[in-house]
A = this chain, B = another copy of it.
Amino acid sequence: MTLKISQFIADKNPATPCLIVDLDVVKQNYLTLKSSLPQAKIYYAVKANPAAPIITTLEKLGSYFDVASLGEVKSCISLGISANRLSFGNTIKPIHAIRESYKLGIRLFAFDSAEELEKIAIYAPGSKVYCRIMVVNDGADWPLSRKFGTTAEQAIHLLIDAQEKGLKPAGISFHVGSQQKTVKAYQHAITLAANIFKTLQNRNITLDFLNLGGGFPANYSDEVPSTEDFGKTISTTMKELFPKEPPHLFIEPGRSVVGNSGVVRSEVILVSQRDETGKNPRWVYLDIGRFGGLAETEGEAIRYRFETPYDNLTTGLVPCVLAGPTCDSADVMYEKNPVMLPPELKSGDKIIILATGAYVASYCSTGFNGFAPLNEYYL
């Protein structure tokens, strides 16, 4: 937790649950990424945290933006972002979203199937398109392999087709999986992409860019490689595989820009030791859970870290199952792998959930069980 956030909490005692983000950390993360891969255009993945203060902070630093829907296109444009700084990166777009975003000036679209290409050719004629390929997601906490991307063979075929349909075949993209912790994942994927570049070159199609997607990890609880390590591996691999006239590089970081910039402040609602023997973990219920924003704890995938009022006082930690406040029994965050928390913890205590700047506020349900969406503060 940064000094700015802890002072805000001390001064304002904001009602729980709430998300508090330090924009200085967002800035710092952006600048670190930029200096680790100076040759790359950064397209911030708006879905990670679409709040206006984050978008405008990044815009001032020169960021481009990866958008997932017409809603995100409109909200960026309403914040004064020029349409040519936006890439519509979702490969699954409703027809009206393509048509409307084309009217708003968007000229860069992702696709990974013949039907989507057809839609773009009709509703966004002459636009630049890039094809998403499927790569292996080993090493990612939140793997992505099933839903998106096509094969290298199919990508070549579709990009040739794109040109025939009057579109501009512009690039290849992939995604190594969110919260990717293995630098090698990029080496494999770049190699696959380089082969596509070469094959198309032989057909007189010169692609303009390689989009490395996102996946750079935020620091939740395991040790992760540094942004600099990712940058070095990527630069070295690019030099090897594209010895002359390398394509432009795009990256689409989301979590690595905002993940560690924010914390959730939450209240402990109940602590219950169910069995009289005390052998089983106690249950700790918070006022935020899977339906209040911590959706990424599904399958216990993302493991957050916690700060409690007893961290400097306690004599030992006890295993706790952590659950949310709703009547839904699926609203349990950590049960198979309980969280170690101080035995002093009781209802009414406030706790801090660290590194919750990404994928929290927007995942929150509109009002499941009558709980209002959490408040957000950007400092």
Contacts and interface: CB of A to CB of B under 8 A. Distances in A.
Interface of A: 46-47, 50, 67-73, 75, 89-95, 112-116, 119, 142-148, 150-151, 154, 267, 269-272, 274, 276, 283, 285, 287, 291, 295, 298, 323, 325-327, 329-332, 335, 346-348, 361-373
A63 B67 CA distance: 46
Copies in the complex: 2
B332 A147 contact: yes
Q: Is the interface of A mostly helix, strand, loop or mixed?
A: loop
Given A92-B285, A285-B92, A70 B335 contact: no
Contacts of A363: 291, 365, 368
A67 B370 CA distance: 8
A270 B113 contact: yes
B46 A370 contact: yes
Contacts of A330: 142, 298
A89 B327 contact: yes
A169 B115 CA distance: 63
Contacts of A75: 370
Nearest to A113: B272
B148 A329 contact: yes
A115 B150 contact: no
Nearest to A147: B329
